[in-house]
Amino acid sequence: MRLYGLLILALALMSGAAPDSPPQVICLLPFAGITPAQTKAVEQAVAAFYGLPVAVLPPEELPASALCPVRRRPRAAVVLDSLHARFPSTPQARTKVLALTTEDIELEDPPQKPHWGVFGLANRVGGNECIASTFRLGPGRTDRLIKVCLHELGHTLHLPHCTSASASCLMRDAGGKVATVDAEKEYLCEACRAKLRW
Ligand SMILES: [Zn+2]
Ligand SMILES: [Zn+2]
């Protein structure tokens, strides 16, 4: 019992949280096709940017249930739902999950734009699951992948889309344009930074 208490304390200190807070961890889940180099780059960037521990999970296949039959692309929201069921955040371990895929993920039913391909999706602001896709970012553009990952994780850390005038804040809505991603820096404006919480 005493040893268990010490372990919890050590984990809490490692995570930078107060000793009485449960540990926080970001789980990085590479789906099939994502290279070890991409996973490593995202792991290092996320840990450095948010100052949180990152645990890399073994690669796996996208859930078959997520496939939309219309354009034969995975529905991002269904992938996030499946992750939500598997990685419950408990009082003992508060977990955010970031999945990576090479597949062209889509939003199935946005008004005006059904089956709309996206760079990434978070299930909601302050939710626990998000996903980023390399498909629309261009080959070898790990720099863009990292920015999309930091953006989606920002949503899980309670950041809505940025409404400040800053063109370089990561939380701007890219609206499907890589030009917007390229204009962003690995940077959060002051207004967004103030809203950041686990
Ligand atoms: Zn967003
Ligand atoms: Zn901002």
Phi (first) and psi of residue 93, to 5 degrees: -150, 110
Query: What domains appear along the chain, each with residue ranges and CATH number?
Result: 20-195 (3.40.390.10)
Does 191 have pLDDT greater than 60?
Answer: yes
pLDDT at residue 6 greater than cutoff 80: no
Cβ atoms of 91 and 100 within 8 Å: the answer is: no
Do β-strands 94-101 and 129-133 pair in parallel, antiparallel, or remain unpaired? Answer: parallel
> Given this model, what pLDDT does residue 18 score?
52
- Please give the model's pTM, rounded to 2 decimal places: 0.88
Inter-helix orientation angle 36-50/142-156, to 10°:
50
Q: 129-147 pLDDT, tens per residue? A: 999 999 999 999 999 999 9
CA 182 / ligand 2 centre spacing (Å): 15
Task: Give the pLDDT band (50/70/90) at residue 19.
Answer: low
> Distance (Å, rounded) from C-alpha 171 to C-alpha 152?
8
Picking from 190, 186, 191, the residue whose alpha carbon sits closest to that of residue 50 is: 186
Phi then psi dihedrals of residue 141, to 5 deg:
-90, 65
Compute, in angstroms, the gap from residue 142 CA to the centroid of ligand 2.
Answer: 22
Cβ-based neighbours of 71, under 8 Å, separated by 6 or more: 106, 115
pLDDT digits (tens, 9 = 90+) for 56-71: 999 999 999 999 999 9
Surrounding residues of ion ligand 2, Cβ less than 5 A = 162, 164, 169, 171, 189, 192
Name the residue type at position 106. Answer: E
Q: How far is the CA of 102 from the centre of ligand 1 (A)?
A: 19
* Ligand minimally distant from the alpha carbon of residue 121: 1
